[in-house]
Amino acid sequence: MTHRTLLAALSLMTITELAHAEDARAISNAREAARQGLEAMQAGRFEEAAAKLLGAYQIVKLPTVALFAARAHVKLGKWVEASELYLQATRLDAGSGDVAIQRDAQNQAETERDDLTPRIPKLTIAVVGSSTSLVAVEVDGVRVPNGLFTTGWQVNPGIAKISATVGSEHQQQQVAFSEGKTEQVTFRFEQSGHGASAMATATPGGTPAPNVSSITSEHHKSGGSTQRTAAWVGFGLGGAGLVIGGVTGLLAMSKRGQLDANGCSENQCDAAQAGAMDSYNRMRHLSTFGVIAGAAGITTGIVLWFTAPKRSSTTAMRPELTPWVGPGSAGLDGRF
């Protein structure tokens, strides 16, 4: 059917033949839209042609208009929409306008749809790890009914955005569809105890995301291990402080004895003993600092150890620790 034929068919339309049209102005504008659409098709402006012809078709439901609107959509690569327009053309009432022209349009629409249908790409959707009824899938923003996941959802050729959502979990991927091909997209979920799922990957063979509960458990274990490590550091520093305090304390006591033997009393010494008195004072202060720091380190270690997350009774026993301090040494006794 040529463009001239369609224009001739449109010119035969009257208000009585299209009783569903609002008025003569609507029909007149539909004729003009169809004419502009045909001119756009001849000029290769298929986007404009599809819009004009589809607009005219909304007012004048004629097989001729549906046929040319479908052809414009084919040129745009919108094969799914074109197939539907072809189908509508075959089912319309051909009694309006020139019956012979409308019948011819319907025959052509049926033939062209039969040729187009096997060329339309298809999508099948597989769901792993979750109930299909819980998954909401969209293709380029159009919701795919859950019952049609495996039947072959028609998709226009080119790149399509496919998304899947379960609860608050969402993922998306892009898939290239070519003429006559069927592509399968697999969405993988990891089941949780409440029927919800953690998204893993939308690509076949992907690595599932770790389970949330196992992450929490590992985090808990890691936190306990880190705190126990910090406790051991506290024990080590505290023990070192006590050792230094004890050793310097003994040296200070020895130095004090020498000063007393040389006639020094309190901090009063002659000039010859001034250096020895300064050395005594440094050792005395260092001993005091070492004992205080050591006690603080041991205390901190004990607090960290006993406040760390407890290990399972099946894998470890509760530690029993007893710190000890002796002349020039310090340490811990206990069992682990």
Q: Percent of the chain at pLDDT above 70?
A: 68
pLDDT of residue 27: 85
Q: Are residues 21 and 87 in the same domain?
A: yes
pLDDT of residue 324: 53
Q: CA-CA distance, 329 to 43, in Å (whole number)?
A: 99
Q: Which two tokens stand for residue 10?
A: 């449109």
160, β-bridge pairs: 175
Q: Are residues 113 and 126 in the same domain?
A: no
Which of 168, 189, 211 lies at the terminal end of a domain, its last residue? 211
Q: Are residues 288 and 241 in the same domain?
A: yes
Within 8 A by CB and 6+ apart from 188, the residues are: 128, 129, 199, 200, 201, 202, 206, 208
Q: How far apart are the first and last CA of the chain?
A: 93
pLDDT of residue 194: 42
Q: CA-CA distance, 171 to 154, in Å (whole number)?
A: 21
The strand pair at 182-191 and 122-128 is best described as parallel
3-state secondary structure 154-212: ECCCEEEEEEEEECCEEEEEEEEECCCCEEEEEEEEEECCCCCEEEEECCCCCCCCCCH
- Tally of structural domains, the chain: 3
Contact 185, 161 (CB under 8 A): no
Q: Are residues 107 and 143 in the same domain?
A: no
Which of 187, 211, 235 lies at the terminal end of a domain, its last residue? 211
Q: Summarize pLDDT for 200-233 with one digit per residue, the tens.
A: 333 333 333 444 444 444 444 555 677 778 777 7
Contact 90, 110 (CB under 8 A): yes
> How many beta carbons lie within 10 A of that of residue 231, not counting itself?
21
Q: CA-CA distance, 91 to 106, in Å (whole number)?
A: 8
Q: Are residues 171 and 273 in the same domain?
A: no
Q: Are residues 25 and 63 in the same domain?
A: yes
- Type of residue at 135: V
pLDDT of residue 21: 44
Q: Are residues 164 and 146 in the same domain?
A: yes
**CB-count exposure of residue 222 (10 Å: 0-12, 13-18, 19+):** exposed
CATH classification of the domain holding 133: 2.60.40
Dihedral over Cα of 127, 129, 135, 137: its sign = negative
Sheet holding 169-177, edge to edge: 142-144, 136-139, 158-166, 169-177
Q: Are residues 107 and 82 in the same domain?
A: yes
Contact 97, 85 (CB under 8 A): no
Which of 117, 138, 155 lies at the terminal end of a domain, its last residue? 117
Contact 48, 37 (CB under 8 A): yes
Q: CA-CA distance, 46 to 37, in Å (whole number)?
A: 8
Q: Summarize pLDDT for 257-300 with one digit per residue, the tens.
A: 777 777 776 666 666 666 777 777 777 777 787 778 778 877 88
Q: Summarize pLDDT for 99-129 with one digit per residue, the tens.
A: 889 999 999 999 999 999 999 999 999 999 8
Q: Summarize pLDDT for 35-93 with one digit per residue, the tens.
A: 999 999 999 999 999 999 999 999 989 999 999 999 999 999 999 999 999 999 999 98
pLDDT of residue 197: 40
CATH classification of the domain holding 37: 1.25.40.10
**CB-count exposure of residue 119 (10 Å: 0-12, 13-18, 19+):** middle
Q: Are residues 149 and 194 in the same domain?
A: yes
Q: Summarize pLDDT for 143-200 with one digit per residue, the tens.
A: 999 999 999 999 999 999 999 998 888 889 899 999 999 999 999 887 543 444 434 3
> Hey, which bits of 22-178 come out as E strands?
122-128, 136-139, 142-144, 153-154, 158-166, 169-177
Q: Are residues 195 and 248 in the same domain?
A: no
Structural domain of 131 = 122-211
pLDDT band at 12 (very low <50, low <70, confident <90, very high): very low
Q: Are residues 245 and 194 in the same domain?
A: no
Q: Are residues 178 and 204 in the same domain?
A: yes
The residue with greater pLDDT, 307 or 132, is 132
Section 296-311 average pLDDT: 73
Which residue reads 């880190």 in tokens? 226
